[in-house]
Amino acid sequence: MSSSKSIPANNSTAIRQKTSALLRKLEGKVCKLLVTIVLFLLIIYTFLSSHPYSKSSKHSVNIHNKIQHSYEHTSSSPTNIGHIVFGIAGTSKGWTIRKHYVKSWWQPSITRGFLFFDEAPIEHLPWPPVSIRVRLYQNTSTYKDYDKHALPFAIKMVLMIADMFKAENNENVRWYFMADDDTVLFTSNLVDVLSRYDHRKYYYIGTNSESILANVDNSFEAAFGGAGFALSYPLAKALSKHVDGCVKRYPTLLGRDHILQSCVADLGVSLTQEKGLHQIDLQHDISGLLSAHPQTPLLSLHHLELVEPIFPSMSRYDSVNHLMKVAKIDQPRLLQQSVCYLKENNWTFSISWGYSSQIYEKIITPSVLQRPLQTFSHRVWKGPKVPFMFNTRGVPGDPCEAPHVFFLDSVEKSDWDNVVVTSYIRKSPRLLQPCSSNNHSADSVSKIRVLSPMNKFEIGSRRECCDVIEMREANATTVKLRTCMKDEIMG
């Protein structure tokens, strides 16, 4: 039996020591190599991700844009004019006459949106590059079997919403506002009003016609497009998705407004009324309406070419521009009514700020004065006995009931007194005898100066009060607007 040779103990220990030393050296080199590789890969990754043409950069930007896009539609930050996309329904042939109305409120490089035409505006070229962008209505020949509407362009105008949403939906849009090319908008007030609503929810904001008959023909639940209406982003998105089927469901309704209201109702949404929007389905002199505006911001005026100029002795265009001058100084206060009294003369003053002032030779309560004088008439000859959606007062022949009327002449800021001074002048004599109850006659007054605070007017739960502060001149008087005191009664 043979036996193997054994390794001496001291040799075995030496081998183990050499092996351990070698492993330690290898571990150090491997670690250094691994660290170097990791650092190299990190540098390469950083370079590639920061390179403007890299896929990862584009992917990162796309993710950021999607997050930002989602944020804008869900943000609760204050609404501004840049959050609203305007869609204006027009015609190429009508633009020559109606462009003045759009230009009165459109702000190049500030407002954004589209003007829709039935055909290319060749006769209006070259189109100003800073002006409103032009789009053509969709070709609706595929809807021929569903177009039995009494009003032309009904389907085209409904499809405007889908066109607008497709063209502009990813640049912090919160609201889509639709109107006509003969609508005058007051955009500062519009922003303030829309800010009250949560744009992340479904909202359909507009107003009825002033005419009961027009509402019967369309719907009392419909927003009239001439006055203008707003759709929140989620509602516009839903309508854009379902508009094709909706148009086919309602082939016989009167026109755009009723079709759209029906589409909105199918989504479970009802009209939210805003009384500052005005369809103006009236004719003749609408000064009575404008002199007794509801206690809400003025948002729009429509059909101004179908009524008399809103300021006597001016053209329609000059009248609009005259109103817009004062609107630029204090838009929230525009047309807001204030009532005060000069009791020693038994006079009542009714101020429609920025438009008109009235003197009555009798004490008349605010509850009466907030009803418009019916200086206007209905546009339809045959209709209900009471044709309007609001109460009116007849134009009286009694000199104690008939007002002396003064219209806006000028507006200026007085930094010294920190007030805005609006002046109103008599355009024509009243042609009535003085009030028979021994009152002082106001026939000699030819001018009324109204002083209002320069700070922005916040329309709240109360109207402003006023005081007659100066009667130094026989033919002029001064009225000062102020915040009503607690529990103060006007009178």
Given this model, what pLDDT does residue 17 score? Answer: 57
Q: Which of 273, 295, 321 is the last residue of a domain?
A: 273
Residue type, 218: N
Q: Which of 248, 273, 298 is the last residue of a domain?
A: 273
Q: Per the domain annotation, does 139 fall within a domain?
A: yes
Q: Which residue has the higher pLDDT, 318 or 31?
A: 318
Q: What tokens were used for 119?
A: 């055909």
Residues 156 and 269 in one domain: yes
In whole angstroms, give the CA distance from residue 117 to residue 156.
Answer: 10
Question: Is-contact 395 371, C-beta < 8 A?
Answer: no
Residues 224 and 126 in one domain: yes
Residues 259 and 404 in one domain: no
Residues 251 and 110 in one domain: yes
Given a cut of 50, is residue 390 above it in pLDDT? yes
Q: Per the domain annotation, does 157 fall within a domain?
A: yes
In whole angstroms, give the CA distance from residue 299 to residue 191.
Answer: 10
Q: How does residue 50 score in pLDDT terms, banded at 50, 70 and 90?
A: very low
Number of domains in the chain: 2
Q: What tokens were used for 17?
A: 């020591």
Given a cut of 90, is residue 59 above it in pLDDT? no
Q: Per the domain annotation, does 291 fall within a domain?
A: no
Contacts of residue 431, defined as CB under 8 A and 6 or more positions apart, other chains included, come to: none
What tens digit of pLDDT does each residue of 345-379 get?
Answer: 999 999 999 999 999 999 999 999 999 999 998 87
Mean pLDDT of the chain: 86
Q: Per the domain annotation, does 3 fall within a domain?
A: no
Given a cut of 50, is residue 160 above it in pLDDT? yes
Q: How does residue 24 score in pLDDT terms, banded at 50, 70 and 90?
A: low
**CATH (domain of 145):** 3.90.550.50
Q: Per the domain annotation, does 107 fall within a domain?
A: yes
In whole angstroms, give the CA distance from residue 217 to residue 212.
Answer: 9
Q: Per the domain annotation, does 97 fall within a domain?
A: yes
Given a cut of 70, is residue 43 above it in pLDDT? no
Q: Which of 273, 291, 324 is the last residue of a domain?
A: 273
Q: Per the domain annotation, does 206 fall within a domain?
A: yes
Residues 368 and 245 in one domain: no
Q: What tokens were used for 15?
A: 């081998």
Residue type, 226: G
The closest of 81, 278, 204, 189 to 459, measured between CA atoms, is: 189
Low-confidence winner among 110-119, 223-232, 430-439 (lowest mean pLDDT): 430-439
Three-class SS of residue 232?
strand
- What range defines the domain where residue 451 resides? 337-482
Three-class SS of residue 13?
helix
Residues 379 and 239 in one domain: no
Q: Per the domain annotation, does 325 fall within a domain?
A: no
Q: Which residue has the higher pLDDT, 455 or 446?
A: 446
**H or E element, residue 413:** strand 404-414
* Helix orientation angle between 154-167 and 233-249, rounded to the nearest 10 degrees: 150
